[in-house]
Chains A and B, each alone.
Chain A
């Protein structure tokens, strides 16, 4: 069974992957779709990883970024140009679109030299062939020439009462009256910094359009050439590479995900490419964090705590217990996210990650809005659990968070042991947040992890294989404030 294309997997809400995808893709449904469908074999994962590695190189990412941005802009601008009726303006903008777009394509064809992945190297070869021959270079050349000629146009104006008069420019008149005013008062200036100029408003109102028409009459040949160029190349048929939409979408997916990782990396959170195996079910993650939570914490400038997790040999189930609010649910999300993101070929937060390629991640989290009757709540939980066990394959991954809490301890224990038995027979990697610590001692496949508090009873969000306890040391108050002689000497800048 593979990920069903384009449909959002059930686990997304539980693992907060919906938040991640929203943060990465925004309103871009095409990019969001890439997150829903994993790939089927390890070679495909590695091919995606190779593209991500390439795009991590700024030398490769920069032209690719420019290309995807320009593709979006060009689509929008061609739509607007079709509605523009004032020919001199439409002609000017069309030349601008042609130059903007063709520059991005050329930059992409030349900017992939540093790429190592098969995907981007193939793209480079195709584009190089295409931009070097036929109409593409010729159209580009003509557009550049028109823009140069338009840029050389100068004219003089007289504004008096209700008339605007245009005439040839007189190159001998200085036109520096504003400078004269400034120079007169320069002796009072303290700060040489000038205020920033507001960006120009690019729309033309009636008077500006009328002035442009007068200027066009001043330079009839230039504006005739401009109109002819626009007519002939109207929708850029000669400038759009084949299969543009798919190429653009794939590149957007990769870039958007890397952009999402960028602030985390800047905040010191390491990322890595998971080593993915089709057969080995061992699991290792060092310094792993919940991607959704980490993004929020980094935005607020708060520290992010990474955790180490491991399943080796016969171990399959991480049983997580310990104080509440200590990071148990976060750890369970981290575990599920790692499998899903790794199967997409994505880099993940962490120093090192090794895991098996999952065909699907199943999650069982408490439902806030479920029925308030105890009996039906348990029933609803059991139905969901049976559904998971029915559909899971030996290549699946299961994340359980506080199941069967609505029943008595004895019942919960018995039900949990049954589920554990089923999971063991399926032989799937699993993380199970549970208050039943005996689960962790149920056999060789289970491992215990405990959320911890620090010496003062504060949360650390660190979850470890052993419980740790401590006590506040009243004598060390001064030490705590960094006020011993040695600490002060170390703190003060000399």
Chain B
């Protein structure tokens, strides 16, 4: 019995699509993660790991989207279930492990207590399943609740509690052994614990004259007896501890898998409060080159400013290379981030910040942004940029998405264009999708004129990115004039 709320139960785990570490900073993922965690530290780590491990398997992603759709329909019930799992995990922690480590009898006692506590939570889970069994439609949630009702019903839990009671060994321990190395007793096999009263202990043991009695003359005699009892009970203590860990593992998995969906609920709530629409994206196989959006927004900008943001429409389906030019402060970086976030979120089975979004899954997502610290350095900037691009090349495979923001700005335009031409040609040859925001006007011009198949977009007034040829005007000169010239 295991929850399958992130992937179908029978799906083999696959390696996530690679993501370069700079994505976190370039796309300001921490803002997104913080909104999803909503102050819960454990949830933050979990959500962060999930967002940085995008998937490519459409069956898994659709399974996850279905569960999320269920959660969006019944947020209250799902939050209650998450809370139940969280309380079960927390309750286990209140029974200290430290004292029980390494010794069988304390370990056995601890495990019996923990399993007793879990029985209570499992009964609660059963009641939840009875109440909400028909509310959900996704394969993940319906299977979970059906499993609970089938496998941890009241009769089963009654049996478990009876078993836990017999494990006190108040009437002695009966076991079989054989001789191991050096004549040491090994392979201890515990028999059913004897009940109270005569006859519970087998006759051959009751009548045997081969008895060793601890005299108690030496402290170490008692210690040796305790150690021997410990070895005798070790298999059952081990079994009980492992069982407690299995049940704990179930609750942890339930908490964590639901946690991801709770994070999505938190995000939807936060963005709705800011007037940013969200939707479940339509996913297409890798290589189909689908990319269309309606009212695509940059959620982290909205979360950061605490207000609504301008969304944009886009149809870049069929294009392997998208070149974005245009005026500074025209929203190019925001556009690039919106696109990168939507791609990552879509490939985690999340909602995206758009009214409608359709995209092919990418076999990898990498960013290559001009970095603030680059500009502060006086030497080695180009080296650093190229080394970063080289690491991107190490990660990508055909079908990956690379988002470039003013790449190669560390050198002069001619050299930058020469390097960019090499890199872009290679990516096009390899069927790696590239969105390239650039000030390299000559490069953009030659690409637009047919040197490479590309969709040219340009930033306009009003922070809109629209199809259009690269324009040599309204660049840095504009900005310079606006900031310094008007004084």
Contact = CB atoms under 8 A, between A and B. Distances in A.
9 A-B pairs with the lowest CB-CB distances in the bound complex, closest first: A175-B189, A185-B243, A160-B172, A488-B426, A188-B246, A178-B235, A167-B208, A481-B386, A181-B239
Given A207-B224, A483-B419, A157 B386 contact: no
B430 A494 contact: yes
Interface string A452-494: 0000000000000000000000000110111111101101111
Contacts of B389: 481, 483
Contacts of A370: none
A146 to B, nearest CB: 12
Contacts, number: 247
B129 to A, nearest CB: 15
B183 A92 contact: yes
Interface stretch (B214-222, B324-332, B345-353): B214-222
A483 B386 contact: yes
B209 to A, nearest CB: 9
Contact of A184 (B159, B179, B211, B213): B159
Size bracket of the B interface = 35 or more
Interface in B185-199: 185-186, 189-193
Contact of A188 (B206, B250, B398, B427): B250
B42 interface: no
B98 interface: no
A162 B206 CA distance: 15
Contacts of B173: 157-160
Contacts of A169: 176
A214 B239 contact: no
B190 A156 contact: no
A88 B180 CA distance: 12
A175 B191 contact: yes
Contact of B212 (A153, A168, A188, A211): A211
B229 interface: yes
Contacts of A210: 212
A303 B293 CA distance: 51
Contact of B2 (A96, A153, A190, A494): A190
Interface stretch (A197-205, A312-320, A354-362, A436-444): A197-205
A204 B182 CA distance: 8
Interface in B420-439: 422-423, 425-427, 429-430, 432
A93 interface: yes
A271 B386 CA distance: 39
B225 interface: yes
B480 interface: no
A174 interface: yes
Given A188-B249, A190-B250, 13 more contacts: A93-B181, A150-B183, A175-B190, A184-B160, A190-B2, A202-B184, A206-B224, A212-B185, A478-B386, A484-B426, A485-B422, A485-B423, A492-B430
A164 B371 CA distance: 74
A151 interface: yes
Contacts of A213: 212
Nearest to B190: A177
Interface string A306-325: 00000000000000000000
Interface of B: 1-2, 115, 151-152, 159-160, 163, 167, 171-186, 189-193, 201-202, 204-206, 208, 210-214, 216, 220-221, 224-225, 227-229, 232, 235-236, 238-240, 242-244, 246-247, 249-250, 253, 382-383, 386-387, 389-390, 393-394, 396-398, 418-419, 422-423, 425-427, 429-430, 432
Given A188-B243, A202-B181, A165 B235 contact: no
Contacts of A166: 208, 210-212
| Binding site secondary structure of chain B | helix
Contacts of A154: 176-178
Contacts of B250: 188, 190
A179 interface: yes
A485 B184 contact: no
A163 B213 contact: yes
A173 B204 CA distance: 12
Contacts of A206: 220-221, 224
B393 A204 contact: no
B186 A200 contact: yes
A184 B419 contact: no
B124 to A, nearest CB: 16
Contacts of A175: 175-176, 189-191
Contacts of B180: 200
Contacts of B159: 184
Given A164-B225, A207-B212, A174 B423 contact: no
Contacts of B214: 162-163, 207
A158 B212 CA distance: 11
Given A177-B191, A182-B243, A188-B249, A158 B205 contact: yes
